[in-house]
Every structure is written in C-alpha cells, then in structure tokens.
Chain A
Amino acid sequence: MKIIILGAGQVGASVAESLVSEENDITMVDSDAERLAALQDRLDLRVVTGNAAYPSVLKSAGAEDADLVIAVTQSDQTNLVACKIAQSMFNVPTRVARLRSRDFLEDERLLSPDNFAVDFAICPEQIITDYVVRLIQFPEALQVLDFAGGRVSLVAVRAYEGGLLVSKPIKEMKEHLPLGMEARVAAIYRRDQPIIPTGDTHIQPGDEVFVLAAAEHIRPVLRELRRMMNPVQRIMIAGGGNIGLRVAATLEARYEVKIIEHTRTRADYIASKLKDALVLSGDATDEELLEQENIAEMDLFLALTNDDEDNIMAASLAKRMGCKRVVALINRRAYADMVQGGPIDIGISPAHVSIGTLLAHVRRGDVAAVHSLRRGAAEALELVAHGDAGSSKVVGKRIADIPWPKGVTVAALVRDFDFVESVHVRDDGTVDRRSGRVEIAHGDSVIQSGDHVVVFCVQKKLVRKVEQLFQVGFHFF
C-alpha cells in the first residue's frame, strides 16, 4: 500500500515504525528536514520536506498514486486542508486526520466529502480520556479495550494472590463464573515473555493477563485474577493542558477532582472552564503541595503534563506518599518500559494508544478495530469474515481446523452484529442497546460470513498472516 504520512511527530513516527516493515511504501512529509533525516536513519521510508498543506508538496510526496493519507501534523488546520487537497486534487481514496480540537468534531458535516473530506478523525485527547475513564470504571485493570462497538472488552490485568484463578489451571474458570458467563484468556505475559495459554496453563501472581469477555461480564471475570479494589472517588490530576482539562471536565461531575497546574494564567483559565473540580496553582512534583492536598487519601493520581520527566517524578512521588494508584503519560518508550510496574502502576503512551484507530485502515481485509498493545509488540484485531466456504479460508470452518499461526488466539465472535439483539436498562436508568451475540471462541465454533472475529497476536509480525487468512479469494464478488 502507498501511504503518505504528514507530520513526523510522535504519532507520525510511531505509525511509520509500525507500518514500515509491512510491504508498504511510505512517504513522510514534515517541514523540519532534520527531524526527517533522523527518522530516515532508522526507518526505510521516503521523505519530503515542506508544508503538508501545499498541493506541490503533496504532489511530490506521490499523492497521485497514494492509497492513503494520514494527516498527523501538529496543526489541525494543516491536517484538514491536506485532507481536502488530497481528495479534490489527487483523488486519494482514504484520508485520516488527527484533530486535537473537538470544535472540528462537533458537527459531522464539517468533515464530510463536500467539506474537509476527512474519512476518519482521531482525537488523541478523547482517546486518552476514554482510556482513563475505563481505568476508573475498572480500578483493577491496566487497560480496557473495546471491540465490536463496546460489545466485547479485552482487559489487561496483573494477576495477584487472592484472585480465584491464580495458581490454578485456566480451565477451572468456568467453575467459578456464574452460569452462562464465559471468558477467554487471550494471552499471558510472564516477566515480559508471552505464554500461549491452554486450559492447563496455571496463571501465576505477577503475570500480565489479557482476558476477553462480553462487556457486561468483565467485573466477575476480573475477580478471577485479583481481589477487587474499592471504587474510585478521589482523583488528583497533574497538568492542566488540553488532556488534563478534558479529563477533568469529563470526571468532575461524578468524582472529587483536584487538578494542579503550574502556570498561573493557565490555572485561572481552566478554573473558568471547570464547574466542580478544584484547580490548584502549583508544582505537582512539590512534596509539600501533595502533602497539603492529602495525596495519601487519593484513589488515583493522573500525571498528564506534556513533560515525561515531570509525569514520572510526580507520579512516583504520589505513589510513595501513599496514593493508591498512579498513572503517567509517557511519550518516550524507553521511559515507559523502565517505570511501568515499578514506581508507576500504569504508563500511557499517547502515540501508541492513538495509532490503533489508524492501523485499522491500513490492515488488509475488512478490519473493524485494531489495538496496538505492549507498546507495539503485540496487536489485537477485530476482523469481519466475508465470503463462503469457497472464497474464504475461514468461513464455514471450525476454528480448530483453521491453520492459525502459532501465537495467535481467537478469543471471541460477535454474530449478527448489524442487528440490535437486546435492550437492557442500566442501574442508572440509561438504556444499553446490545447488538449482536457474543460467543467466546471454542475449537468447534464455526465462523460465519459477517462474524466479527476478535483475534490476539502475541507478536506484530503474526498480523500479516491473520490478514491473509481473512482475505477473500479473487473470485469473491
């Protein structure tokens, strides 16, 4: 596939890195020649220096031949203009843009083909906010990922002594779970090495376990792996930038939120934007300030400034001073590897959580969702099966009879996804419409055309083979 990436920042570089080895022809555009040169030193790609919103620059980047444009420059405006030009002048079939400001997302007409022509917009602030919200709903989890429009959840969780299943074979799980409830352990990482789980695998304390179940079954499933924590009530946020502000605004109505911002004027600004959250002007790495604001009473500390070192320091400090759980935004991978599971409970890499949405458009076949996991080393995909027994390698076959490469686990199927299956009323009175039927995958489950299949690949290089299995033969209409 011929792909043009506009913007060689964190997200652009992560996307390029993730795609460059996969038989793709990638051109990277940025106005900073030095940054491009540094990237070209380690990745095999073509570079063009210039303003990504100029037709001449897009042309020399090969827009006339491109299958996909990914606009992830620092500027929303540049990204919008580039998508419009890619569509109207160069007829590029698929255009994806990062848009930081939610203003552009408020009215969907703005991104329609007649206007800015953005097929898919990603908003990292929103993605990180959603990530944090899920961590609050499931305090036991390291990460909660959605498939099939939220119908199925994949949860990463560290196993602890006290979980019902810990130190027991996985096949015993169904004995603890209520009747009709099922889950699949999709992968286990023990001291960072993947273990392919079978029914006889014993989960050990300290293992990082990826487990998948229907969204409404996640809570009892977590109990298998560790004792439950008290619901989150008090949250402290370090950093009142775009992300910090958005997270605070999302949480303030339901939780006690304090937010620390070091710039006085910015603190005044966010105070005017927030209704219930308490805004503090100060330094989040200041022990006295944390002490004064009762850090030990906090259920969750979120370090969301744009500085890795500050985030790591503030979160480590908060943890040491007694905060129950600390989360830090960490851009540099080396840092993230170093601190997660050590002084910091969860390190979120903004580039990595954002690229899943992009990867779904680059994957071959009908791929509905992609989550890049373990900082790009592993991937979970939701693929839609098409065709029939003649034109597809998976449709009409039992899962056990399909030649999955080693390291791939088929975790679940969502059948009849396009039909609303049932309507439930939640505890808070809102209505939960569940579409499709979730089936935890077994060896004798038969894949049907239209099924959404959730697959876990312990190594990224296995993704290509899974894509190939799901591709229809040439005689499929």
Chain B
Amino acid sequence: MNLIAQLLPESHVLLGLEAGSKKRVFEQAGQLFETSCGISQTLVFDSLFAREKLGSTGLGQGIAIPHGRIKGLKQATGAFIRLAEAIAFDAPDGRPVAQLFVLLVPEQATEEHLQILSELATRFADRQFREKLATAPDAATVRQLFSA
C-alpha cells in the first residue's frame, strides 16, 4: 500500500461537506479527528490555523493541503474533504478551494512527512486525477484513487 492510502481510512473521506469558510472546514476536520483518533478538536483547529497564518497551504486549481504538527500524535494521519461549495483560501492563484487533504503529523516532523506532502502535491498536479476526485461517487472510490 502506498504512503497516502495508509493515512486515509474510508471514514476519513468526507464528500459534499457543507462548510462555508476555512474556519468551519477546520472545525469539521477537528471533529473528525477527535471522533476517529481521539485527538482534541481544539488542538487540530489551532494547529491548522497557526500553520495557515504563516502562508496559505492552497496549491491552486481549487486544491489545498492544510497540515499541522500535533503534540502527542504517534503517527501521521490524513483526511480528504470535498466541499459542496468552494471557499476562499488565499491560494496563490486566488481561486477558491473545493478539495482539501488535511494532514496531521507528530510534533517531530521527519523526512517521511515531507515526502507525503510532495507525493500529494504531485498527484494533485495531475488534472485527470483532480477531475476524478471531483466526481468520485463515494469514499471507497476516493480511497482507491489515492491507492493507485
């Protein structure tokens, strides 16, 4: 199994999420990680916001990869969110963001985490991949796309 699929159980895929702002997306992401991994929602929220303040994690083309280091986290974990409506994200191309891969890593970031980020960026750079993600009918399909 590849690097990304390992991080992304089906329960971490949210499609058609209704969240009208960056803040609400981060709240929802925090809730997801709290329910499924027991990480405090506030911790996730604060960490994602603090990172975003230093520079947008928007990639352009409607994609963002918000990420943060979480104290006490044992191994990296991720979530894929597809929004019902795109939101402002201060991305380099100025376009609103509709698809997000949220990545949380332990406090001590390693080479592997940078690899995961580059891997994600490479995949999202592919237009066909983005289009498939945008139309994927369910979580299983999304996971499959990331596993390929």
Contact = CB atoms under 8 A, between A and B. Distances in A.
Interface in A1-34: 1-2, 23, 25
Contact of B54 (A64, A65, A386): A386
A419 interface: no
B109 interface: yes
B38 interface: no
A62 to B, nearest CB: 8
A366 B65 CA distance: 19
Given A91-B45, A365-B55, A477 B23 contact: no
Contact of A67 (B23, B46, B57, B118): B23
A472 interface: yes
B131 to A, nearest CB: 21
Given A474-B121, A475-B114, A475-B121, A65 B58 contact: no
A476 B56 CA distance: 10
A66 B109 contact: no
Interface string B35-60: 00000000001100101011111110
Interface string A359-371: 0000011100000
A471 B49 CA distance: 14
Contact-residue size bin, chain B (C-beta under 8 Å from the other chain)? 20 to 34
A473 interface: yes
A198 to B, nearest CB: 31
Contact of A364 (B24, B46, B53, B57): B53
A369 to B, nearest CB: 15
A149 interface: no
B55 A477 contact: no
A92 B22 CA distance: 11
Contact of B109 (A2, A91, A365, A477): A477
Contacts of A162: none
B21 interface: yes
Contact of A66 (B23, B55, B105, B113): B23
Contacts of B24: 64-65
A25 B56 CA distance: 17
Contact of B57 (A1, A25, A366, A474): A474
B83 to A, nearest CB: 13
A1 B88 CA distance: 8
Given A91-B45, A93-B49, A477-B114, A472 B54 contact: yes
A1 B24 CA distance: 13
Contacts of A92: 23
Contact of A473 (B27, B49, B55, B69): B55
A9 B49 CA distance: 30
B16 interface: no
Nearest to B113: A477
Range of interface residues on chain A?
20 to 34
Contacts of A476: 51, 54-55
B54 A365 contact: yes
Contact of B55 (A65, A91, A93, A474): A474
Contacts of A67: 21-23, 49
B117 interface: yes
A2 B57 CA distance: 17
Contact of B90 (A65, A364, A475): A364
Nearest to A65: B21
B67 interface: yes
Nearest to A62: B21
Nearest to B88: A25
Listed residue (A66, A386, A472, A477) with the most chain B CB atoms within 10 angstroms of its CB: A477
Contacts of B117: 474-475, 477
Nearest to B24: A65
Contacts of B23: 2, 64-67, 91-93
B53 A2 contact: no
B85 to A, nearest CB: 12
A91 B65 CA distance: 22
Interface in B65-95: 65, 67, 69, 88, 90
A67 to B, nearest CB: 6
Interface in A78-128: 91-93
A66 B46 CA distance: 14
Contacts of A25: 88
A472 B56 CA distance: 8
B27 A91 contact: yes
B55 A475 contact: no
A366 B45 contact: no
Given A471-B54, A475-B114, A93 B46 contact: yes
B53 A365 contact: yes
Contacts of A2: 21, 23
Contacts of B88: 25
B55 A364 contact: yes
Interface of B: 20-24, 27, 45-46, 49, 51, 53-59, 65, 67, 69, 88, 90, 105, 109, 113-114, 117-118, 121
List 10 A-B pairs, minimum CB-CB distance, nearest first: A471-B55, A65-B21, A472-B55, A477-B109, A474-B57, A475-B117, A93-B49, A472-B54, A65-B20, A65-B23
14 contacts: A64-B24, A65-B21, A67-B22, A91-B45, A93-B45, A364-B56, A365-B53, A474-B58, A474-B65, A475-B114, A475-B118, A476-B51, A476-B55, A477-B113
Given A1-B90, A91-B23, 11 more contacts: A2-B23, A25-B88, A93-B23, A93-B45, A93-B46, A365-B54, A366-B54, A474-B56, A474-B58, A474-B121, A477-B105
